[in-house]
Amino acid sequence: MARIQRDETPHTAWCARDHRCGLDEHRSAAKVVAGGTGRAVVTRVRAGDVEYAEVHLRIPLSRREDTARTQLATLLRLLGQLLDAVIARPYAVPGRGERPAISRRAA
Ligand SMILES: [Zn+2]
């Protein structure tokens, strides 16, 4: 029987420092974003030397099959845009670093 050897890693500045952390995995408290009847739960995770955001989405779908398919197509398209914005262009995300009301000149 193979035995998995894992080295304990210290807690981070942002992890929950409780039962959510493991020997070599540290997890933040979950942040919940609600919109309409849907919600997203985001957790920051460090596993070994890799760090990532874990996102769980719950999005209600229409009972009408054609509308549900449209909703799923929209979800897939926007998730692709979201991943691109967060991973490839983190400083281009609207609302981050942009302060149009301050930079706008009075006419
Ligand atoms: Zn921890």
- pLDDT tens string 44-81: 999 988 999 999 999 999 999 999 999 999 999 999 99
Share of the chain above pLDDT 70, in %: 84
How many angstroms does the Cα of residue 43 sit away from the middle of ligand 1? 12
How many angstroms does the Cα of residue 35 sit away from the middle of ligand 1? 29
How many angstroms does the Cα of residue 53 sit away from the middle of ligand 1? 15
* Exposure b/e, 42-78, CB count within 10 A at least 16 = b: ebbbbeeeeeeeeeeeeeeeeeeeeeeeeeeeeeeee
Confidence of residue 101 (pLDDT cuts 50, 70, 90): low
Share of the chain above pLDDT 90, in %: 69
How many angstroms does the Cα of residue 40 sit away from the middle of ligand 1? 22
Q: What is the pLDDT of residue 6?
A: 73
